[in-house]
A = this chain, B = another copy of it.
Amino acid sequence: MTATCPAPSTAPDPAPAAAFPIADTACRVVSNEPVNAEYRLLLAEAGPAALTAEAGQFFQLKCPPTTLDRPFLRRPMSVYRIDRQNGQIGFLYKVTGKGTRGLSTLVPGDTLEAIGPLGLGFTLPAGTRHVLLVARGVGLATLTPLVQMARAAGAEVTAILSARNPAMVMSRDELAAQGARVIEVTDTAGDSDMAQVEALLRRLHAEQPFDFAATCGSNRLLQLTKALSAEWQIAGQAAMEAFMGCGMGMCYACVLPVTAPSGETIFKRVCREGPVFSIEEVQSW
C-alpha cells in the first residue's frame, strides 16, 4: 500500500483519514539541511494518513543505501514537525550510523518512504495549565510538537533544554516562537548537572506550579522528572527509545521493562504501547 502524496496545496487542512490509518507513504523530500554539526532537519510532503500524526508518534523511515552502507531495517524517527497547512512532516535527526548516514544523502525531490504515524503520542490531561518539558539531545525532536499541542490546549509551557554546549541546543527559536518559555542548561556552562537542574525545576515549580511533565532523551533527567512528578503529584509522560525491528507492533523486539500497577515488571512494546509511557511505569534504561 505505498501511497503517493498529493501536492501539498491540495491538502491544506487535516485530510480525512486514509482507507488505512497507517500508510507506507512515498514522500517527496522538500529539504534536508544540517541544523548544527550533528543534526539535520528533513522536511517532506506527506499524505493524509501521515498528516494525522500527533506529538510523540513516530515514523519508520526507509534509509537509502549509499555506496558504503545498506541499512536493512527501517529507522524510527519521532515526528518533529507536523505542518498540516503545507502538507508536510519533518524529522530532526542525528547522524549516528549507517541508517542516518543514508538519510543524510536525501536531496529535495528524492523520495522518502515513511510508514506511519506509529505508536501512542502524548496525551495532556484535560485542563492542564502549565507543562514542564525536560529534554536533552535528540529528545528535543520528540518533545517539540508537544509545545504546539499544549498551546493549542491553552496551557503554558516551560522547556528545559539540556545540551553539551550552546551550539548543540536546537530549536530554541522554534520553541520560543510557539510560545514556550525556554531555559537552556549546558555542560560547558556547568549548569546541566542533576543537582542544579533539580534546583532549577523546584524554583520554577515554586514560582508557577507545573501540572504536567514530559521528558525525553536522558536517563538521568528522566529519573529526576519522575521523582519530582511523584513528589508534586502531577501527571507525567516520558518518550522512550528501543532498538526496533518493525515499528508496527509485530516483532516484539522493542520491549521495555515497565512497572505494572501490580508492582511487577512486565515488557511493553515501545512502538505500540509507547513510545510515550506514563512516567510512573517507566524504569530506567
Q: B-contacting residues of A (Cβ < 8 Å)?
A: 64-68, 70
Contact = CB atoms under 8 A, between A and B. Distances in A.
Counting every copy of the chain, the complex holds 2
Top 6 closest pairs, chain A to chain B, by CB: A65-B67, A66-B67, A67-B67, A70-B70, A64-B67, A65-B68
For A64, A65, A66, A67, the residue with the greatest tally of chain B CB atoms inside 10 Å of its CB is A67
Nearest to A105: B67
Majority DSSP secondary structure for residues of A touching B = loop
6 contacts: A64-B67, A65-B67, A65-B68, A66-B67, A67-B67, A70-B70
Nearest to A67: B65
A70 B64 CA distance: 14
A68 B66 CA distance: 8
Contacts of A68: 65
Nearest to A68: B65
A273 to B, nearest CB: 36
Contacts of A64: 67
Nearest to A102: B67
A64 B67 CA distance: 8
A106 to B, nearest CB: 12
Nearest to A65: B67
Contacts of A70: 70
Contacts of A67: 64-67
